[in-house]
A and B are shown apart, each in its own frame.
Chain A
Amino acid sequence: MKPPFDGVDPALCPRDPNTGEPLPPRKQPGYYPGFSTISQSPFWDEATREVIDKRVKHPPERKFFSAEAWNFWTSVFAHLIPQTDRAIDRQIPIVAVLDHRLAINKTAGYRYESMPPDRVVYEIGIEAIDLEAVHRYGGKFLVLPSADQDRVLQAIHDGRPEAAREIWKRMSVHRFWQMIMGDAIDAYYAHPWAWDEVGFGGPAYPRAYTRLERGEPEPWEVQEQRYEWLPPANTASAEVDSSQSHHTESGQHSLLDRLSEEAQQGAKR
Chain B
Amino acid sequence: MMQWKTNNLLFIHVTRIASFLILSFSIYLFFAGHNDPGGGFIGGLMTAAAVLLLYLTFDKRKIDEMLPINYVNLIPTGLLIGFGAGFIGMIFGFPYLTQFFDYFTLPWIGEVELATAVLFDLGIYLGVAAVALTIILTIAGDEE
Q: Is B a genuine binding partner of A?
A: no
